[in-house]
Structure 1
Amino acid sequence: MAALIERAAQPNITVQILPFAAGEHPDLGGSLTLFTLPDQPLVAYLEGSRFGSVVEDREEVMRRRESYDLFRAMALSPRDSEAMVRAAMEDWKAGRPPRT
């Protein structure tokens, strides 16, 4: 968790946590990476516990981008995300169950 906080301090990295308290989301249970390259179309990469796939279809990529935007809107701010990570670190040190 300390490494996550260190990386979040870099100017090109933004960490936002979507806590369980935010509720369910249609894309819950996997990861989404959006690749943006100069002069290239946006590409999505989806990954779950048993699969990984590259999405290049423009309409599907746009749906994934909308999903990503919704995740960010539901997530904590970068400052609140860092506070949540620090609180989890303190809970872990003290042997308490994590706050969600």
Structure 2
Amino acid sequence: MAQKPMTKSQLVTAIAEKMGTQKKEATEALDAITQIITDEVSQGGAVTLPGVGKIYCRERPERMVRNPATGEQMKKDADKVVKMTIAKALKDSVNN
């Protein structure tokens, strides 16, 4: 069975232990990183996290979709979607 994802509080605790700081400082650091990534990607930019991957926004064109309940075809407007490509180093570490 798959393990549950790490929660924010668990991540903050792990960051604080690795940095040798208080949880408050680790929370501030995590919140700052999250805000920077959100701001950059929402403006159409991309953020590379070394050893983890690249987070970016991609535009999807207008397209036809099908309602699974009725089978009806309908037009969906163009939109944006956030994507992430995983770094080779992370892929390799998972497979070893």
Q: Does the alignment reach a TM-score above 0.5?
A: no
Structure 1 or 2: more strand by fraction: 2
